[in-house]
Amino acid sequence: MDKPVFSIGERVEKLCVVCNEVRGHVVVSITKRGQISRVSCPKCGARTSFKSGATTDAAAKRSTTKAGAPYDRTRTYRTGQAMMHPTFGLGEVTKVIEPCKIDVLFSDRMRRLIHARQPE
CB of 48 to Zn ion, least distance (A): 9
- Using CB under 5 A as the binding rule, whether residue 12 contacts Zn ion is answered as no
- Using CB under 5 A as the binding rule, whether residue 43 contacts Zn ion is answered as yes
- Beta strand pairing call for 69-70 and 47-49: unpaired
Binding-residue total with Zn ion (CB under 5 A): 6
- Using CB under 5 A as the binding rule, whether residue 44 contacts Zn ion is answered as yes
Q: Among the candidate windows 3-11, 33-41, 57-65, 100-108, which touches Zn ion by CB under 5 A? A: 33-41
Angstrom distance (rounded) from CA 87 to CA 67: 16
- Using CB under 5 A as the binding rule, whether residue 25 contacts Zn ion is answered as no
- Using CB under 5 A as the binding rule, whether residue 19 contacts Zn ion is answered as yes
Name the helix (H) or strand (E) containing 60: helix 57-60
Angstrom distance (rounded) from CA 18 to CA 119: 40
CB of 19 to Zn ion, least distance (A): 3
Closest alpha carbon to 54 in 13, 9, 98: 13
CB of 41 to Zn ion, least distance (A): 3
Whether 73 contacts 87, CB under 8 Å: no
Query: Which residues contact Zn ion by CB under 5 A?
Result: 16, 18-19, 41, 43-44
